[in-house]
Chain A
Amino acid sequence: MAELRPHVEELRGLGVEPAVIGSGTPEEARAFAQQMHTDGGVLPIYVDEALVTYRAAGLKRSFGATLLHPSSWLKGVKSIAKHRQRKTAGDPWQQGGAMFVRPDGEVTWRFVSNFSGHHPAIAELIAEARRAAA
């Protein structure tokens, strides 16, 4: 999410409202927002402790995808080198993902993370934001 933070206003400028969903508690979400400097409405954060939206969105949850995928190790090392890794707050085996949704419920793009550290490129998100808002 640290990579997304500088592009939040660009997304809004394109007509897309970003929102983050995590699997921790509201208290953990608040602490995370402060750490990422996204509190105060800069980037809305929500929690889904029961993982209902993760399952409904078809996102993956597995031990193997989190720890055993070779790319997880490489991405993990790079991430630690770039950002200080903090205590895990939420379901450690849950993978992430992303989706652009229009007001009529149409999903114009979706991304399912296959392993830890597998994220969409910012350039792809910006391009898809333009398409979603068109």
Chain B
Amino acid sequence: MRDHVPGELAAAILRDPDGYEHRASELWATRPALVLWVRHFG
């Protein structure tokens, strides 16, 4: 059985360093994505 990305994750809103909002699903919308969550910036 294939594992699919949770709906809450796909729908989550992220902000880029300029403060603009992006839906998380945009990250993998056009090609496979490696999404890395870092513990913190630093």
- Across the interface, do B38 and A11 meet the contact criterion of CB distance under 8 Å? no
Q: How many residues of A contact B (CB 8 A)?
A: 66
B-binding residues in A (CB < 8 A): 1, 4, 11, 15-24, 26-33, 39, 44-49, 52-57, 59, 66, 85-92, 94-103, 105-108, 110, 113, 116, 125, 128-129, 132-133
- Across the interface, do A100 and B32 meet the contact criterion of CB distance under 8 Å? yes
Report the Cα distance A87→B37, complex, angstroms.
Answer: 18
- Other than the given A17-B28, A103-B28, 19 more pairs (CB < 8 A) read A15-B31, A21-B35, A21-B36, A22-B37, A22-B38, A29-B41, A32-B41, A47-B14, A47-B15, A55-B8, A56-B6, A56-B8, A89-B42, A90-B40, A99-B34, A103-B31, A105-B5, A105-B25, A107-B5
What chain B residues lie within 8 Å of A90 (beta carbons)?
A: 38-42
What chain A residues lie within 8 Å of B34 (beta carbons)?
A: 11, 16-19, 98-100, 125, 128-129, 132
A-binding residues in B (CB < 8 A): 2-6, 8-10, 12-19, 22, 24-25, 27-42
Instruction: Summarize A's interface: helix, strand, loop or mixed.
Output: mixed
Knowing A101-B5, A105-B4, A105-B10, say if A1 contacts B31 (CB, 8 Å). Answer: no
- Across the interface, do A99 and B24 meet the contact criterion of CB distance under 8 Å? no
Among the interface residues A49, A91, A103, which one has the most CB atoms of the partner chain B within 10 A? A103
What chain B residues lie within 8 Å of A28 (beta carbons)?
A: 41-42
What chain B residues lie within 8 Å of A44 (beta carbons)?
A: 16, 27
Report the Cα distance A52→B23, complex, angstroms.
Answer: 12
